């Protein structure tokens, strides 16, 4: 599993109370879901609107406006046909993903909605979980769930059998639901034995480990369109398209200069001493950048 540095949040953070390992509740919750169909236990219950603020994860109704949802739904429909045959190497997701970079290549203002969501969600996670280190986004996407689609219970950074996970660096996840004119497609949290019925414009964000293990129940009518994003403390996994400041372009190779023989034979001149950081910026200071959000100081 993904062993997160416990110094990444304050001592009074909700994260300090979360057991990072699997529990019997995880195993029991997985057994209740077969092919996207949940067999409820006596304790299974919905998360009702009056309980949104009582959870140890984020639920924000109307995080995006109806107009913003419509704009992104329109962009998905416009672009899905162009990218649905693109191979990404993960069979489950083939033909189902439109990336933020796809949107940006066609409509900058629609991409700005996605970028604004990413910044706001990052800041909310930082505040809600009292994080003490920067959090970086590793991708923002638009996904489609057609009728019959489902996703077995899972975490976003660990496999329950201990095998290597494809994205072990992910520490938090979020989803915005762009429509709700479908049936099924509920979000089921195994360890909590709770079911959340998404609503249009809603943001849900949580830790990526076993405590918030989740599955998507089968979509029985219509289609479900979502905007997921994933977050990490590992700056090396930050998306270069979201954080271009972290990945400056490589300098172009200098063209070869033909020197006259007199210059080659001349006595070399000592170069003046330079600030070692001056190569990084004309002002002689290394460029700095802080991700969005407010972070508690460590300690």
What is the pLDDT at residue 14? 96
What is the pLDDT at residue 286? 30
The reply to whether 64 falls in a domain is yes
- The secondary structure element, H or E, covering residue 152 is strand 151-154
Task: Judge whether residue 19 has pLDDT over 50.
Answer: yes
How many domains are there within the chain? 1
Alpha carbon separation from 46 to 33, 37, 94, 99, 202 (Å, rounded): 15, 15, 31, 31, 16
Task: Judge whether residue 281 has pLDDT over 60.
Answer: no
Task: Judge whether residue 253 has pLDDT over 80.
Answer: no
Task: Judge whether residue 132 has pLDDT over 80.
Answer: yes
Query: 67-100 pLDDT, tens per residue?
Result: 999 999 999 999 988 876 665 555 656 678 899 9
Residue 211: give the domain boundaries. 6-36+45-237
Alpha carbon separation from 214 to 108, 179, 196, 285 (Å, rounded): 33, 20, 10, 45
The reply to whether 49 falls in a domain is yes
Task: Judge whether residue 206 has pLDDT over 60.
Answer: yes
Dist. CA 73–CA 76, nearest whole Å: 5
The reply to whether 252 falls in a domain is no
The reply to whether 60 falls in a domain is yes
Higher pLDDT, 62 or 286: 62
Task: Judge whether residue 62 has pLDDT over 70.
Answer: yes
Could you tell me the pTM of the whole model? Answer: 0.82
Domain CATH for 148: 2.60.120.620
What is the pLDDT at residue 269? 54
The reply to whether 258 falls in a domain is no
Mean local confidence (pLDDT), 112-141: 95
What is the pLDDT at residue 129? 96
Dist. CA 200–CA 215, nearest whole Å: 19
The reply to whether 137 falls in a domain is yes
Mean local confidence (pLDDT), 152-175: 93
Task: Judge whether residue 274 has pLDDT over 90.
Answer: no
Mean local confidence (pLDDT), 1-7: 53
* pLDDT confidence tier of residue 294, bands split at 50, 70 and 90: very low
What is the pLDDT at residue 82? 80
Dist. CA 166–CA 97, nearest whole Å: 17
Looking up tokens 């072990």, which residue turns up?
Answer: 168
Task: Judge whether residue 259 has pLDDT over 70.
Answer: no
Mean local confidence (pLDDT), 105-112: 94
Task: Judge whether residue 194 has pLDDT over 80.
Answer: yes
The reply to whether 256 falls in a domain is no
Diameter over CA atoms, the chain: 92
Output the average pLDDT for the chain.
Answer: 85
What is the pLDDT at residue 1? 45
What is the pLDDT at residue 207? 97
The reply to whether 291 falls in a domain is no
What is the pLDDT at residue 297? 38
What is the pLDDT at residue 216? 97
What is the pLDDT at residue 85? 60
Secondary structure of 172-232 as H, E, C letters: EEEEEECCCCCEECCEEECCCCEEECCCCCCEEEEECCHHHCEEECCEEECCEEEEEEEEE
């Amino acid at each position: 599993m993904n062993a997160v540095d416990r110094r990444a949040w304050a001592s009074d953070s909700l994260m300090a109370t979360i057991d990072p390992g699997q529990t019997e509740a995880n195993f029991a919750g997985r057994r209740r879901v077969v092919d996207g169909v949940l067999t409820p236990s006596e304790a299974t219950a919905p998360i009702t609107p009056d309980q949104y603020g009582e959870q140890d994860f984020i639920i924000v109704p109307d995080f995006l406006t109806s107009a913003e949802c419509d704009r992104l739904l329109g962009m998905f429909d416009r672009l899905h046909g162009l990218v649905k045959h693109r191979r990404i190497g993960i069979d489950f997701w083939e033909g189902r993903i439109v990336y933020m970079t796809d949107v940006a290549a066609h409509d900058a203002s629609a991409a700005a909605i996605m970028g604004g969501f990413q910044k706001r969600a990052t800041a909310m996670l930082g505040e809600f979980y009292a994080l003490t280190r920067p959090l970086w986004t590793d991708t923002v996407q638009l996904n489609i769930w057609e009728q019959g689609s489902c996703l077995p219970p899972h975490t976003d950074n660990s496999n329950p059998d201990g095998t290597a996970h494809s994205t072990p660096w992910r520490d938090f996840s979020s989803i915005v639901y762009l429509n709700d004119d479908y049936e099924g497609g509920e979000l089921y949290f195994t360890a909590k034995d709770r079911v959340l019925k998404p609503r249009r414009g809603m943001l849900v964000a949580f830790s990526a480990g076993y405590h918030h293990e989740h599955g998507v129940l089968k979509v029985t009518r219509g289609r479900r369109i979502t905007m997921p994003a994933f977050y990490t403390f590992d700056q090396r996994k930050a998306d270069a398209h979201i954080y271009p400041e972290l990945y400056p372009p490589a300098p172009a190779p200098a063209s070869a200069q033909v020197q006259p023989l007199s210059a080659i034979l001349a006595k070399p001149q000592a170069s003046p001493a330079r600030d070692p950081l001056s190569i990084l910026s004309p002002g002689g200071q290394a460029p700095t950048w802080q991700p969005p959000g407010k972070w508690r100081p460590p300690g």
